[in-house]
Amino acid sequence: MSNGSRPSFTFVDLFAGIGGFHAALAGFGGRAVYAVELDPQASAVYERNWGISPLGDITADATDEIMNVPPHDVLVAGFPCQPFSKSGAQRGMDETRGTLYWNILKIIQAHHPKMVLLENVRNLAGPRHLHEWQVIIETLRAEGYRVSDTPAIFSPHLLPPHLGGRPQVRERVFITATYVGLDRDSGSLEAAPPISNRPVAGWDPMTWHLETDLPLDADSHVEGCDLTESEVMWVDAWNDFVVQMWEIREGRRLPGFPLWADEWVLPRDLEIPDGTPKWKVNYLTKNAEFYSAHKKIIDNWAMKWGVYTDAFPPSRRKFEWQAQDTPSLWHTVLHFRPSGIRAKAPTYVPALVAITQTSVVGPRKRRLSPREAARLQGLPEWFDFGDQPASSTYRQLGNGVSVGAVWYALRALCSRDEEVLKKTAPELLAAILTAPANPDLVLNELHP
């Protein structure tokens, strides 16, 4: 799908999911000539919205013997990171064989698209995957791409609303590469990352507000998003705790360390086994001191709410306050995590994940709706998930990319390598740099 009668450029969408990359590239005027996604449910949503079926297997379409991927100008991929071989002295492309990145490289070798944008979780740039990172950079440069060896990490909450930002912390690594040719010297292949992990245009992320900036659905009740009776009781109980602590602590904030009711003992009764990690010693000590300072109120509160009964599973006896001066737990954004209940100020939310940890909007007394979750990823209002279960929608959105972050990264890459692209891909360059800075101004016009 294109936003004009003639596409300004073509693209391929690998590991396409439901089409977050497609939204950005179609908004710039591009046309997909190939897309691939292994998950049939995600593929059905992709086809429903973008008019082409990506159902397929890249390991069958891009190999030594087969190349079913056609020529294109831009390659995008939210690819899984897999460990590469480190056997012997092997380096480069052979080292990636057997991984999905190897299939991406086969496509790049065959067609040398003018721009490549790869997206992955932040851990790809961490020490655990240092080897994988180095091999990716080396293999792209070996194919004639200018790419930074410094990770470009970015999150949509760092973008202001007028640039397509969203109130969601979703730090991802973007590998941004521009083709400069195989005959260039190595110096031309090195560059600074086009984006950095800091707020853009003077934006203060703490000024986000879910109520107006997302925006939230008008209705408090959304089918399938209500809290259970037990969840309401747990929040009511901890809210009572929060309100009492505000009163007796005379306006001082709650502690920043996690509170754990199962570890509330007096300091004289605290037993710490030998070999306990230092962080846990500190954690247990602070909980004992906190309990000692507020023992009478805590004991009465725990008895009132049955905190030490079966009504409170162990994970609901843990509580972490990150909501600064918010006066009530029901005014925060909540998360029911395996490690406990976490409360944050109603500014921005953590990255979308599975339904079991979907953010709870305190003032609405429910979880984020699928439509609100889609807005968090920057998808337009017309985007349609059909009649699939909400759990599938949450999972697909949790595996997706932020449209605003992709839009920002592509514009920044074009600005960085403008002189190269003027010669190699002038129509592509013009399509991206002359588009509005805010993808929201374009995406609603793409409705099929």
Q: Give catalytic status of residue 81 as yes or no.
A: yes
Is pLDDT of 5 > 60? Answer: no
Instruction: Give the Cβ contact number of residue 11 at 10 Å.
Output: 26
Is pLDDT of 1 > 60? Answer: no
Locate the domains of the chain by residue range: 9-203+399-446, 218-368
Predicted confidence at residue 348, as pLDDT, reads: 92
DSSP string covering 178-204, please?
EE--TTS-GGGG----S--SS-STT--
Predicted confidence at residue 93, as pLDDT, reads: 65
- Which range among 7-11, 223-227, 352-356, 413-417 shows the weakest confidence by mean pLDDT? 352-356
Predicted confidence at residue 357, as pLDDT, reads: 73
Are residues 393 and 10 in contact, defined by beta-carbon separation less than 8 angstroms? no
154 — phi, psi (to 5°)? Answer: -155, 155
Predicted confidence at residue 211, as pLDDT, reads: 86
- Which range among 122-126, 297-301, 403-407 shows the weakest confidence by mean pLDDT? 122-126
Reported as a pLDDT band with limits 50, 70 and 90, residue 81 is confident
The two tokens of residue 256 are 């920043």
Predicted confidence at residue 86, as pLDDT, reads: 56
Local structure of 228: helix, strand or coil: coil
What is the rounded CA–CA span in Å between residue 144 and residue 351?
34
Reported as a pLDDT band with limits 50, 70 and 90, residue 88 is very low
CATH of 9-203+399-446, one of 3.10.50.40, 3.40.50.150, 3.60.15.10, 3.20.20.80: 3.40.50.150
Residue 182 or residue 284, greater confidence: 284
Are residues 431 and 29 in contact, defined by beta-carbon separation less than 8 angstroms? yes
Region 361-368: what's the mean pLDDT? 93
Instruction: Give the Cβ contact number of residue 76 at 10 Å.
Output: 29
Are residues 366 and 343 in contact, defined by beta-carbon separation less than 8 angstroms? no
Whole-prediction pTM value? 0.91
Compute the mean pLDDT over every residue in the chain, rounded to the nearest whole number. 92
Is pLDDT of 286 > 50? Answer: yes
Region 153-171: what's the mean pLDDT? 96
What is the rounded CA–CA span in Å between residue 18 and residue 16?
6
- Which range among 68-82, 83-97, 144-158, 218-232 shows the weakest confidence by mean pLDDT? 83-97
For the segment 190-208, what is each residue's pLDDT rounded down to a tens digit? 999 999 999 999 999 999 9
Reported as a pLDDT band with limits 50, 70 and 90, residue 262 is very high
CA Rg value for the chain? 25
Predicted confidence at residue 163, as pLDDT, reads: 97
Reported as a pLDDT band with limits 50, 70 and 90, residue 4 is very low
Predicted confidence at residue 354, as pLDDT, reads: 53
Residue 410 or residue 390, greater confidence: 410
Pairing of strands 318-322, 340-344: parallel
In terms of phi and psi (left: phi > 0; alpha: psi -120 to 50; beta: otherwise), the region of 208 is beta
Instruction: Give the Cβ contact number of residue 199 at 10 Å.
Output: 16
Predicted confidence at residue 97, as pLDDT, reads: 74
Residue tagged active-site, from 81, 105, 214, 222: 81
- Which range among 215-219, 409-413, 433-437 shows the weakest confidence by mean pLDDT? 215-219
Is pLDDT of 28 > 90? Answer: yes
Reported as a pLDDT band with limits 50, 70 and 90, residue 92 is low
